[in-house]
């Protein structure tokens, strides 16, 4: 990994292809400079700019050929991936953990597994994660990956459980009002787009759950939507409004999906999550909602509005598919049902 005054750059691998990953501040001037490179693209998930791994790009950022992972690390990552697959981790988790582990191993590229110490991991936190201002959630993800990696290597000379975690953030979930949700949905005129956004809110789905819905997951007779093998490898049932079943029948007549409820341009292939996010972003613009909302806000809004309607916390937990009620309890802090009834002492002045 190389770094300059306003940037860091390293070589990463995506689907068998090497790229130079450049991380820069959100400065319009720096972004414009990056866009001068041929073949650039933005990786929203990792928050980095990807440039083709070409000699002239390496020279520009001072990256030597040795920046690629050492042979022993490549083999270690393959072993790590096999381990996660045996444990039946989802493809998304597998990719996230593997990418984080690769970043860690590149940071200590010349070290072998048996030479690592807890101090090396702390150095990664200080000189890479904190220096690049990566999120606490990414740091925890990296720690999970690193712990798994060292636990499957017998040559490690320290206890992986000694790796410390950062203090967790306690942020309130972002929520749209019912009026804002209605305005958002009403701004969509394409029946497919309207139905997708409507189901996410009406059933409190994650976007991955929506795009993985099959035609057989709609149970119109019982008014239910079946969510299969979602986060945590769990199935769950959620109620779906009859009005959406009626819209879904009209949608089916028009689009005739083959296997998935929502398919992309290629029949038989599920709708792309990035395209779904784009649909939401356009609806947000059309509805003139100024909040920096994302698709996941709809899930938060669903839970909060249920709580404001008096739905029991335990039921909301089941509907969202949370393992612990503590996860669901956060919505009690944004529900206005009780807060709005509180009389401020200011009114008595």
Q: Is 300 noted as a catalytic residue in this protein? A: no
Distance CA 339, CA 337 (A): 6
Helix (H, G, I), strand (E, B) or coil at 342: coil
- Beta-carbon contacts of 26 under 8 Å, excluding residues fewer than 6 positions away, are none
Burial 326-348 (b: 16+ CB within 10 A, else e): eebebbeebbeeeeeeeeeeeee
Task: Spot the catalytic one: 95, 231, 236, 282.
Answer: 231
Task: Spot the catalytic one: 194, 206, 300, 305.
Answer: 206
Q: Is 83 noted as a catalytic residue in this protein? A: no
Q: Is 231 noted as a catalytic residue in this protein? A: yes
Q: How many CA atoms lie within 13 A of 36 on its CB side?
A: 8
Q: Of 105, 221, 195, which Cα lies nearest the Cα of 153?
A: 105
CB 23 within 8 A of CB 128: no
Q: Is 168 noted as a catalytic residue in this protein? A: no
- Share in percent of the chain as helix, strand, coil (round to 5): 50, 10, 40
Sign, CA dihedral 284-287-288-291, equals negative
> What token pair was written down for 19?
């790229």
Q: Is 322 noted as a catalytic residue in this protein? A: yes
**Residue the block writes with tokens 């042979």:** 71
Q: Of 182, 197, 174, 181, which Cα lies nearest the Cα of 276?
A: 197
Task: Spot the catalytic one: 194, 299, 300, 305.
Answer: 299
69: DSSP letter: P
CB 164 within 8 A of CB 129: no
Task: Spot the catalytic one: 19, 201, 251, 331.
Answer: 331
Which residues are known to be catalytic?
A: 206, 231, 296, 299, 322, 331
């Amino acid at each position: 990994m190389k770094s300059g005054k306003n940037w860091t750059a390293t070589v990463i691998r995506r689907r068998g292809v090497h790229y130079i990953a450049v991380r820069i501040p959100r400065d319009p001037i720096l972004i414009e400079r990056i866009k001068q490179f041929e073949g650039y693209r933005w990786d929203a998930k990792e928050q980095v700019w990807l440039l083709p791994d070409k000699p002239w790009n390496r020279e520009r950022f001072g990256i030597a050929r040795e920046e690629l992972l050492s042979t022993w690390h490549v083999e270690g990552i393959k072993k790590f991936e096999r381990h996660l697959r045996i444990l039946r981790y989802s493809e998304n988790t597998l990719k996230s953990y593997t990418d984080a582990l690769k970043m860690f191993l590149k940071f200590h590229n010349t070290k072998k597994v048996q030479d690592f110490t807890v101090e090396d991991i702390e150095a990664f936190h200080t000189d890479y994660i904190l220096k690049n201002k990566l999120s606490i959630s990414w740091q925890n993800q990296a720690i999970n990956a690193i712990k798994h990696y060292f636990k499957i290597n017998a040559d490690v000379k320290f206890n992986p459980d000694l790796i410390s975690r950062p203090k967790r953030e306690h942020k309130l979930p972002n929520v749209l009002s019912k009026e804002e949700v209605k305005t958002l949905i009403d701004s969509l005129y394409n029946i497919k787009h309207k139905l997708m956004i409507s189901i996410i809110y009406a059933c409190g789905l994650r976007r991955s759950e929506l795009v993985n819905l099959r035609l057989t997951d709609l149970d119109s007779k019982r008014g239910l939507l079946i969510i299969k093998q979602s986060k945590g490898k769990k199935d769950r049932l959620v109620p779906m409004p009859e009005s959406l079943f009626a819209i879904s029948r009209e949608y089916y007549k028009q689009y005739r999906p083959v296997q998935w409820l929502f398919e992309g341009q290629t029949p038989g292939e599920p709708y792309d999550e990035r395209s779904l996010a784009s649909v939401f972003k356009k609806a947000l613009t059309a509805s003139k909602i100024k909040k920096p909302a994302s698709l996941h806000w709809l899930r938060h809004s669903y839970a909060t509005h249920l709580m404001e309607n008096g739905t029991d916390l335990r039921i909301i937990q089941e509907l969202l598919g949370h393992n612990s009620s503590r996860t669901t309890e956060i919505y009690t802090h944004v529900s206005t049902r009780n807060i709005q009834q509180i009389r401020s002492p200011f009114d008595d002045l």
